[in-house]
Each structure stands twice: as structure tokens, then as C-alpha cells.
Chain A
Amino acid sequence: MGHVEEATRFVADAARTSWHDESLWFVRAKRDRAADTVPDWEALREEAAMIKQDALTRLPQLWDEFETNARAAGAVVHWARDAEEHNTIVSTLLQERGIRRVVKSKSMLTEECHLNPHLERHGIEIVDTDLGERIVQLRHEPPSHIVMPAIHLRREEVGKLFEAEMGSPPGLVDPDELTAIARKDLRARFLGAQAGLTGVNFAVAESGSFVVVSNEGNADLGTALPDLHIASVGLEKIIPAQRDLAPFLRLLARSATGQAITTYTSHFRGPRRAETPQSDHAADAEDTEDASQELHIVVVDNGRSRLLAQPAYRAALACIRCGACLNTCPVYRRSGGHSYGATIPGPIGSVLEPSRDPAAHRELPHACSLCGSCSNICPVKIPLHHQLLTLRSDLTAAGQGRPSGRWAFALAACAFRHPRLYDLASRLGRRIARGLPPTLITRLAAPWTRERALPEIPARSFRELYRDRTTTDSRRQEGSVQR
């Protein structure tokens, strides 16, 4: 089913739609208040956008620099052309070490690559440790939001799920109590995990380090214990220097959840060491002998370089996955993340997903009223709604446009090119419409009239009234002259 059908189903439950809309609007409002606390919010957005656009013009150099520095710090860097290569690299690393149990913190990239089912097929148990991700994992469904994966669920539904999956007492709905139950269940899995998988929010070229932000500390816990840490990172996540982190960290938490900063901002540089070095500088270069862990970084393209080659859409690679465009999108709030049928829903997903698979996602650029709120809220100033508009015509040109109504557009365009034809056709059309029984018009105009009354069709158009008016005016003037 496409977005239209899924959205129609979502909206049919009016109370749930209200609740979904209001939950997300609450986050949007929180983001607004957080943005108010930064005196130069717009300058910060501009700075972040510039850093990303600059980085995107020299990805190869930056990644070379990153690889050199990451290797010097003791990490191994892998390169994956697509999702399949990424998954194979990860499963091979695990299998070579006889690993059967892994924990994973939030990573949209691994969702995009469908890593979980791949590992499960190889007999590896993978547990998502972000609470929201864990909930949707237990429900065998994809996340409906890139920051709040289970935002589509009510606490009652989570209570029922935990009752079935973790044996929690029936009827439990208190979020704190439910969290405590999940925490206890997850703690055992953290302790038993043989490898920790994470995503990457920012990879820094000059230091070969990367940053993972979280609110639950699950990325730290998941990587602090096991002997293997695998970090998956999208090709677009690189920034040149350590100091460039500042604008992004300030923007990301505020845009995502309205927090000044996430609870955890974890910097990883090389593998964990047996003993904490005296100072950070002591950990410099080539001292991998005392590492008590292996660190593997998998850099994934999976269509990103294709997007990079398209100037009209390149800016979308600046996305830092904050989810602000989802929260502000009036369509997303009223149709739910699953209606998009894509790993990344909402405005940014509707730009990114059709570039990966146009045939599967050709509808998405049309799931948008072009209100422009997403472009204004985006912390890295991606012109999302203009990209969606451009994408519509590009998909049409590629034979993936709207399937229906093209002949009507052709006819209308023809009339509009010929003013007399337009005048004649519209006069005729209005006369016919006025003559038809209202019930028939209502039926003919069904998608408009199911929920809406048709406007009364006027006897005369503006141009006819204008003609009358000018004639009356000139007559009036003539009259006054004669008098």
C-alpha cells in the first residue's frame, strides 16, 4: 500500500491522530523554546550548513584523513559500497570471532541496511538497546520516527507488549515502571553481549574519532563491556575538525528533542584500552598493544555518492537525523511514520528514499502540501520542500510521475496557453456545472466533495464581471460628459 492508503487508514482513527499530532507538536514546541535560548540560532544554522556543504565537496580527502587518523589510534576502517557489503562485513567480523550475542544502540543506517534480519539469518542474536528501538524490535515492526522510534505507540500498548515479552504485571501503564522493567531485562543482555554495535552521529577527519549521542547511555554501556565494537557510519557523516562539532551538538539536541544537550555525548577514538591513560595525549598514535578491545568502523555509501552527484539534491546529505522536519510536518503528524513505507519517513525521507529506489517511493514527494515548514526548521538548512517539488518533475521525466490524471493536465495546459480557449471552455464548463443536479456534481468531484462542500459556482467569471464593469464605467463617463 502507498502513502495515500496508509494515511487514510491512520486518519480514520481520529482520536489517535489527535494524540499523535499533539505528541509531536509538543516536541516541536519544546524545540522552539530551546531555539529561543540560543541568541544566534540562525547564524548557527548557517554555520552548520556551510560546514556540511564544504565537507560534501571534499569527501574523499576527509575520509582519507579520517582513515589515517583512526588507524593510527588503533581502529580498523572498512568500506562498504552498499547495504549488502555492510551487512557482510559486520556478520563476518562477528562470525570470525564466534560471536552469537550482540547489542546495538540506535542507528538509522543499520535500519536502512536491514542489518538485524541479516544477523538473525546468520544465527546471531541482536538486541536493540535504545528503549524505543527495543519496543519496535519486540513488535517486529520498523521505527516510525528516526529519533523516537515508538512514538506511534501508547503506553497501554507498551504495557501489553512488556507483559507478553518480559512478564511484567498486567495492566502496567506507568512509563517509569515500564522503563524499569525494560532496564532490568536489557541489563542482563548488556552483560551477556559479546559485541557492541553503534551508529555514528559525527566522524571527525582530523582526529579519526567519532561521536555518538544518546539519552539512555546505551551506546556507552553496550561498547564498554564487550571485546568488539563495530560502528557503522554513513558516507555523509564526516566533518573536518573537532571544533566543528560545537555548532552541530548545539543544534542537534535542540532540534531533535528541545534539550540543550543530550544526556550522553560519547567520543570514541581508537579501541578501549586496558588502563585509562594518564592523559588523552598519552593515547596518541600506534599504542594499540594495550587495547582491550577491537574497534571496527564500517563506512557505508549505499546510494549516497549517487545523491552527491545530483546538485539538486546534494544538500540533503547534510542531514544530521534530528527529526525536526518530521515533528513539524503537518502531514507526518497526521499520517504516522509507517505510512511512508520507508526507513526514513517525513520530509527528509521523501527526498532520500526516492533517490535510492524511485519506483518504490515515487509517491512520497507528493505526500506533502509544500507548506515549507520543514525547510525553515532544518538545522542544516536543507531546502527540503523545494527538493520535494523538484523531485516531482524529475520523477515524471524519469517515467515515475503521478500515474493518473496526466491527460487532464495536458488538456488544461493547452487551454491555459490559449486565452480564448480558456475563456470559452471555462464558460461552458461553468454553465454545464450549474445545470447539473448537485448530487451528480458531488459524485463527479468525489475526492473533493466527500468531506467538503463545493463552492457555489458563479454565473459569471471575474473577467466577465470586469468586462461589464468597464463598459458600465465608460457609459457612466459618457453620460456625465453629456450632462
Chain B
Amino acid sequence: MRLALMIPCYIDQLKPEVGIAALRVLEACGHEVVFPEAQTCCGQPFLTAGEVERAKPLGAHYIHVFESFDFVVTPSGSCSATIRRHLPSWIEGSAAEQTAGRTLEFCEFLASEEGGGEALPTGRFDHRVGLHASCHALRELGLGTPTETRNAPIADPAAKLLSRIEGLELVDLTRRDECCGFGGLFSVAEEAVSCRMGLDRLADHQGARAAVIASTDASCLMHLEGLATKRGMPFRMMHVAEILAASCLPAEDDGSHNLRIPVPAGDADADARRDEVRDGTR
């Protein structure tokens, strides 16, 4: 089986450790992983900005780079959704459809028959984790059951993978699938609403006393991390791949996966900060 790793441009440039974690986990599951260096961007920023004509050539490039692989795995719900849901409408022909259909989100792939996720050693991760639902993994790819719909429940592969880890406690959120407000260009074009949405998500995680916020999309996490860091909120943002790598795999030579996660604030503290976030400092 030929497996390609597709690394979203923002992970490549800003969060390479997420890509490394995904690579290591896939290898630990027994896959031979290729990272085709000619890959660039899935086209999503252009699509969402209303520049679909600029996205189309990138779609053609994507097909050119990835069509020979049996699977393309990417640690991003959003990028895989762009490829799966939109690429076939940009470019005619079976190559587009097939390449798009073979593009899987990282957790989705691991939980699939070919993914071999169960080969991963059961790790240990003694932290309370809030799983931030990626809108696109959930509502575009159908990885999980959105709160709006009443279809038969679908298991969320990310939650499934995390629940195997000993000591890891997934917290209950009051709004488990509300958008964090990143939304690509939206995060800067509609800055005020975007940030407020993110702060509300952080308050929810804080109320549930999560120490780590995990997601299948590093872009949501960068937005939330930016907001939390600016306010000194003691969260650690980790892509699901990073948690798997940190808990199930031996530390790599450079020791970059040694975790120092702050203990979550006590209830009173968390509540005070939550009020501050929600109501503005009064």
C-alpha cells in the first residue's frame, strides 16, 4: 500500500511538530509513508476567499502529486474536506474523483480498516483533555454526530483513538460542536466575532477543567492558542497526532515530545476567569 502524507501549508510552516507526530504515528502503525515534496496547498484559502479560480490549478497540482498513491492522509479535517467535497467540482474526470476519495483525515484513516490504528501501543496520558470538534471533520466529512442532526450516531474516530489511552480523561463540554471562530480568512476579516467565538470555546473548556485542548485541526488550535496565550490561560493545545505520539510512542532523540502541561486552575480560579472572559472586565 502506497501511503502519502499531505501536510497542510500552515502546519508545514508554523506547526511542523504536528506533521512529525502524524508521520511517526503512521509509521508506528506499520505504514511506509511518503511525503511528496512537490505538494503545496489544497486550495482552501482561495476557495473560502471567493477566489475559486485560483484554487482550481492547485487542485490540478494536488492530483498530479497524489494520484498514484493508494491513500493520502492529512492531519487536517479542513484540508481533507476541501479535497473530498470540493476538488471533484473543480476538475473534471475520474482522476480528481479518485484522488479526492482516497484522501483521508488522519484519525479517520487510523480508525479505518487499512489504518491499523489498533497496532499502536496503548499509551498513557494523565491529563484532562477537551476535544475540540473540527467543524469540517464533523460536518463535511461526517466524522462523528453533529448535535443538529438526528441520524444514527457515528463514532468520532479522534475520540475513539484518544479513549484508548490510559489516564486520559475526555471532559464533557456544554457546547461540544460549536465553531471556534477560526474559519481561515474569517479570523482576520471578522476579527471581533472570530475572537469572541474562540474565547467562548476556551471558557467552555475551562469550565470543564480541561488542561489540554485537542483537535484534528491545528488551525483551530492556533487560533485558540493565540487567544489563550495572550490572556495567560493555562491550556496546552495539541493535535490528536501529538497526543498519540507523546503517549504511545517512545520519545524521539531530540526530546521535543517531553510534555510539561500545567495543572489546570482550581474551580474558583477557573470560574473567575470564565466570568472575566464572558462578561468583560467590569
Contacts and interface: CB of A to CB of B under 8 A. Distances in A.
Interface of A: 3-4, 7-8, 11-15, 17-18, 21, 25, 32, 35-36, 38, 41-42, 328, 330-331, 334-335, 365-373, 375-377, 389, 392-393, 395-397, 401-402, 405-406, 409-410, 412-413, 415-417, 419, 422-423, 426, 429-430, 447-455, 457-458, 460-466, 469
Interface string B76-87: 000000000000
A365 B50 contact: yes
Contacts of A14: 196, 278-280
By Cβ-Cβ distance, the 9 closest A-B pairs, closest first, are A452-B226, A14-B280, A369-B183, A392-B50, A371-B179, A372-B139, A376-B148, A462-B19, A453-B229
Given A366-B185, A370-B48, A466-B20, 13 more contacts: A4-B192, A12-B192, A14-B278, A18-B278, A330-B181, A369-B190, A370-B135, A370-B136, A412-B45, A447-B189, A448-B226, A452-B223, A466-B19
B232 to A, nearest CB: 10
Contacts of A42: 149-151
B11 interface: yes
A439 to B, nearest CB: 14
Contact of B46 (A330, A376, A409, A448): A409
Contacts of B40: 415-417, 419, 422
Interface string B1-42: 000000101011111110110010000000000010111110
19 contacts: A4-B191, A14-B196, A15-B282, A330-B181, A372-B135, A372-B140, A376-B146, A377-B148, A392-B50, A402-B49, A405-B49, A409-B46, A412-B41, A417-B58, A422-B41, A447-B188, A452-B226, A452-B230, A469-B20
B182 interface: yes
Residue of B37, B51, B135, B181 ringed by the most chain A CB atoms within 10 A: B51
A335 B223 CA distance: 19
B139 A373 contact: yes
Chain A interface, DSSP helix/strand/loop, else mixed: helix
B227 interface: yes
A133 B7 CA distance: 52
B252 to A, nearest CB: 9
A247 to B, nearest CB: 15
Nearest to B237: A455
A200 B41 CA distance: 48
B4 to A, nearest CB: 12
Contact of A455 (B15, B37, B48, B140): B15
B175 A25 contact: yes
A156 to B, nearest CB: 17
Contacts of B49: 392, 402, 405, 409
B251 to A, nearest CB: 15
A462 B280 contact: no
B148 A393 contact: no
Nearest to B22: A462
A355 to B, nearest CB: 15
Contacts of A12: 192
Nearest to A392: B50
Contact of B146 (A368, A373, A392, A469): A373
A410 B41 CA distance: 14
B57 interface: yes
Contacts of A406: 51
Nearest to A5: B192
B122 interface: no
